[in-house]
Chains A and B, each alone.
Chain A
Amino acid sequence: MIRRPMSDNPPSSPDFTGTGLACRRGERLVFAGLDFAVPASGALVLVGPNGSGKSSLLRVMAGLTPPEAGRLAWDGVALKEDPQAHRARLHFIGHSDALKPVLSAAEMLGFWAGMRGGGDVAAALARFGLSAAAPFPCRYLSAGQRRRLALARLVASPAPLWLLDEPTTGLDTEATAQLMAAIAAHRRDGGCVVLSTHAPLDLPGAASLSLADFRPRRGLAA
């Protein structure tokens, strides 16, 4: 992929940007006219009431849902031009843990890391306190352990962009701290993270985006 220099973008241009985004779920327009920018090492926290479109925005950012309008770009290059490159640089952790009851925790994480070209599975399990659970099938894991195993995918194989949909749901304080440490390390390495949350999180220097501000005005939907 050729990185086209954008004349109107200064060199310190943000890494991941969206402009004029609108999203439709089914027949419902969820948000419209939304702009965001996440610089390298940056963090963006999505807040807003239920149904305001936090998950939808994360899905648009991941490329799962094509935006109804607007443009997403990475370093100024539109994502549309190379969706495969975008998939290679992102981790998306949604509400479901994507675990198979019959595979062991190590096998499961090994698979997801392997599909991205491999990574240090043992270290990733250790980061989230799952070393002891590694040889056991996922069906033995508790809900919190399953969540941690899903999050361990983040550190098992590196990717510069993390998209996390309410990652702390079901995590105890210790696991939340492990996640925050992982995010901090990721940002130190220049990675960026976008996450939605209902609980206040300890993310130094994070920007916040309130989805409630982009509710489509009446009459827009029709």
Chain B
Amino acid sequence: MFRFANPNRFMNWSGKLLPWCAAATAILLIVGTYLALFVAPPDYQQGEAVRIMYVHVPAAWMASFVYGVMAASSAVALIWRHPVADIAAQQSAPLGAGFTLLCLVSGSLWGEPMWGTWWVWDARLTSVLVLFFLYLGYIALVNAFDEPTRGARAGAILALVGVVNLPIIKFSVDWWNTLHQPASVFRIGAPTIAASMLWPLLIMAVGFTLFYVTLLLVRMRSALMAAKLRALRLQEFQAA
């Protein structure tokens, strides 16, 4: 009934927005990649390896940003029982997990030339690793029920529990890290970063965000269509 009134409106505006989003993503990512690889200067200490930053840092931002989106949509879904919010949270999770994995892999690739090892129990990387597990838990929970609506509700509660716990986990991991090893952390995002490096970074960050928005819209649209298909099947069954 009214449950699909809103989704219909969503399908309308998202359909119009989608091509613009996709085009802007493509332009920003191409420009950003060009600037990062050819225009931005190599670091005087890290050399060419610093270019990994232009993937690693936006991925790290997206990893937490997407979790925030998930938690916010889950809250909306729980409080107002808004079906589109439910779908936004569910469809964000694999994307967020993807960004988190990209952040971990690029961090590891960056770590090899920097620290001479693929993995360091650095506070920042460790927190991202825990975030990755939170994403995996959410995805596993949402898909663990035979009834799709049941998984959505459980996932929404878990996302909120996770968002309350994230600062606590982050705080305790930082504490643990200072106890066990002196900070050997690379300083990124420090205010001293040169403008020639900052611009490509910002362009990449906006590009990553739009990339996420584009993929999210595509995923949400297909999830809504799948739900509609299930509803039609059900009608067919009830009529039979």
Chain A residues engaging chain B, CB cutoff 8 angstroms: 22, 24, 26-29, 32, 68-69, 215, 218-222
Contact = CB atoms under 8 A, between A and B. Distances in A.
A24 B148 CA distance: 13
Contacts of A22: 1
Given A32-B1, A218-B239, A26 B228 contact: no
A72 to B, nearest CB: 17
Given A221-B235, A222-B231, A222-B235, A29 B1 contact: yes
Nearest to A66: B81
Contact of A26 (B4, B150, B235, B239): B150
Contact of B1 (A27, A69, A215, A218): A69
B55 to A, nearest CB: 40
A33 to B, nearest CB: 10
B149 interface: yes
Interface in B1-51: 1-4
B227 interface: yes
Nearest to B227: A27
B1 A26 contact: no
B234 A220 contact: no
Contacts of B150: 26
Chain B interface helix/strand/loop/mixed: helix
Interface of B: 1-4, 147-150, 227-228, 230-232, 234-235, 238-239
Given A29-B1, A69-B1, A222 B149 contact: no
B148 A27 contact: yes
A48 to B, nearest CB: 14
A32 B238 CA distance: 14
B239 A27 contact: no
Nearest to B148: A27
A219 B231 CA distance: 10
Contacts of A68: 1, 3
A29 B2 CA distance: 12
Contacts of B149: 26-27
A220 B147 contact: no
A220 B228 CA distance: 12
Given A26-B147, A32-B1, A221 B234 contact: yes
Nearest to A28: B234
Contacts of A26: 147-150
A71 to B, nearest CB: 16
A29 B235 CA distance: 10
Contacts of B238: 28, 215, 218, 221
Nearest to A30: B238
Contacts of B2: 69
Q: Which are the 8 A-B pairs with shortest beta-carbon distances?
A: A222-B231, A26-B147, A26-B149, A221-B231, A221-B235, A28-B234, A220-B1, A222-B4
